[in-house]
Amino acid sequence: MPRISSGLCLILALAPVLACAPDRNSGGDAERHLAKLTPLGQPVPDSLDRKEGDTTDWKLLDIQDTGYLNVEVVLDNPEAEVMVEAFDRYGQRIGRTVHRKDDGPVVKLSAEVVIGKGFLRITHLGGPKTGYTLKAFVR
């Protein structure tokens, strides 16, 4: 019987884990330090697909005024379940909302912010894949 090297055994053992990694196809924005700059006041399209390995999108905001950050996410597929969270420049969560399949296509979040960096995290919790359009502004 042929012998299998220990390196091959390790690869074979990790293959199921890597195949199930929730953000293996994230598009490069699965972690906060990889957040993509998102312009305020402009619609930004993106998508989430848990089955294909894109569970999390992080967005970087350049906040130029104090007030309330208002976020609106319009889902292409309202059957998708998503969570939208806002974070301050230190990574402390300042707002959170969860959208369930019966909630309609629009997800809204509002959080008080100050001048500086801010972050949004959009997470696919379950259900079908969905595209979405995000719009954020400060008032």
Q: pLDDT by residue (tens digit) across 17-76?
A: 444 566 676 667 878 999 989 999 999 999 999 999 999 999 999 999 999 999 999 999
What's the rounded mean pLDDT across residues 122-131? 96
Residue with tokens 């998508």: 47
Give the model's pLDDT for residue 125: 96
Rounded to a whole number of angstroms, the distance between the first and last alpha carbons of the chain is 71
How is residue 56 annotated by DSSP? E
User: Do 77 and 128 touch, CB atoms closer than 8 A?
Assistant: yes
Q: What tens digit of pLDDT does each residue of 74-92 get?
A: 999 999 999 999 999 999 9
Query: CA–CA separation, 100 vs 85, rounded Å?
Result: 15
> What span, in angstroms and rounded, lies between the C-alpha atoms of 99 and 116?
28
Is-above-0.75 flag for pTM?
yes
